[in-house]
Structure 1
Amino acid sequence: MAPYWTDHWGNPSSRQHRQGLTASAAVALARRQIAEALDIDPDRLIFTSGATEANNLALLGHARTRGCGHLISVNTEHHAVLDPLAQLQREGFQVSLLQAQSNGLITPTQLEEAIRPDTRLVSVMAANNEIGVLQPLKELAEICRNRGVVFHSDAAQAFGHIPLEPDNLGLDLVSLSAHKLYGPKGIGALVIREGVQLQPLQWGGGQEAGLRAGTLPSPLIVGFAAAVQEAMADRDERHTRLGGLRDQLWNGLNDQLPAVERNGAAAPCLAHNLNITLPGMSGSRLHRSLRPHLACSSGSACSNGAPSHVLLAIGRSRADAEASLRLSLGRSTTANAVEQAIASIVEAVDAQQT
């Protein structure tokens, strides 16, 4: 990314001078590299500031082109989906939120029964950001396609970690985020199937096929593409390695803390995610004692300390939701680090029980 902050500082939309052409070429190459990882045409990739903006563009942008009607999602979605849907509800749309099962998953039958003649759009995330479960996207998308309903998926947590080819899965709109796969913060994208109509959320210079006005951030886009290429290069190996470390973490905790409970289905699930509940523990004391040793949370980064709506949705009490830990593993995680995490959590629990 560094040269595009300093040497190649041109506006990629200004193609009448060398600096602009250089930046434009870099953006075009990055768009192609990301599109290749998704097995789509580059023209279908619209850059945004992240998955939150992509979700807003997909949901608000498509719903508003269709006029009032019915929208479907799931009660365990990220607030970047739930809040735009709440806004559409204020605008006169009807919204149905499917109830996730205790394992965090929904079934194709639930969706089939919820679709109405006036259903305009369905939004179901690929991988849950808190409990890591993988929804049955292909089956859900087939139902939508058969009923003539546009299907959107927030795939921010999935892209770069599991195979994700929108056309193979039958997805019409897909939201992506760079920083979920080690790319820079502040850049993401929306994948749009040809023929799906969207209304822009902002107007200006007509960039990104008129759907997302504003000067493109060349360094961030270049960084996004580089992160995607690295993620694709080691995705399968990383999945296997992190799955083993995640199992090591769960088995170690389960052996030493028999009361520990796992949140969400063990499979299908992201390899690098583990969400646990420690019943009977004070959540505030637990997190306070772990803070010097372990970077963990009880919910999403957007929850501002409130109990996780995801854990509440799958049946956890408020107290249990607060006494939960969302643990993530990554490229730098080692078996030794996992053992240290186990020891820190066990020590924090023992301290409350003595």
Structure 2
Amino acid sequence: MKQLLKYLAFCAIAVLLNSCNDSESDLLEAKVYFESKEHTIEALNEQPITYELQSRVSSAYSSPVEVCYEIAGQNAVKEYNQKYGTNYETFNAANVKLGSNVTTIPSGAIYSEKTPIEFTNLENMEEGKSYLLPVRIQSSSLPAIAGSDIIYFIITKPVQIKKVAQFQSNYIRIPLASGTMFTSVTYEALIYISQFGSNNTIMGNEGILILRIGDTALPGGHNDWIQIAGSKQYHSTQAFEKGKWYHVAFTYDQPSGKTAIYINGSKAAESTWDTPSFDLASTGSGGFFIGKVANFMWGERPFYGYMSEVRLWTVARTENQIKQNMLSVDPNSDGLAAYYKLNGTDQFESDGKSYVKDASPNGMDGLANGGSSQLTIKELETPVTIK
């Protein structure tokens, strides 16, 4: 019996050692992969764009390694979108030209020869949309490193915003129906500050939920910090600068209670709330405004500068969604309640009153300056850029 137990113990140790050796051998085995996971291409004009594709091995191999490239399909795009919370469309493979589907990593070398990949017909891309093209690496000589066997090309056609609305005691009132309750919510806007004041209104309902710059009651009297205020409030400590474009956003996800302030697509401050809902249509202080709180008893708190791409949502947008859509968004996006591009082409007159057209299909046309006058539109020398 003792001999049998010794034998079994010896076998278990042998299996364990062999397993360890296999794991070590697997780690040391040369594999092919892409060094870069993503590469962004901006289609600024109609000219084709070429990128030099290059793969490598994890360690030098004693023989030449043949590498094959193939364009992955919609499933790879779908998996990427699900993993990162994005909504990229698949770039049309017919508009992609690979210099060759096959390349070689020479014996004893690390990198492959460079293979050109050309993106064409870029003039047919829709402005503001982003597309994804996954390219997969394979080799008959060596295995590929899982997770690094695909490089994702993000192809974008940047939005060129050159006309924006000037706010200098101007405002828009959003016609939310009485009793409109928001559980989850997102505020978004592109802003350019010309002058700091006290409580410079970006958007919202005073006393309920308002996004603003420069509450001098903040620690140190900072009039260059962004704040969400109302029945709940908190702020970021990042100082804003005059003469510079920013994308700002606020989100509240009621089921989780998580709330955040974003600056240029990155989280700048966060908190946790227990508020079941917000009555953003409340008329206690006049309703929901963009630019200033008209006729507010304690001061109208105007914003001084320019704005564009102002949006109100009934959902809490994710960080990726915010970052991906700072300069434009699909007007038919789920949860988009009101959308004002503020480029001048969206202003109109009706029954002797001035309005700003809601770009969403919800008919939330905003009343400009109480209906008395249109907003002043500024034409920029260079398009809006977020850095």
| TM-score exceeds 0.5 | no
Pick the structure with more helix per residue: 1
Pick the structure with more strand per residue: 2
TM-score w.r.t. length of structure 2: 0.21
State which structure, 1 or 2, has the greater radius of gyration over its C-alpha atoms: 2
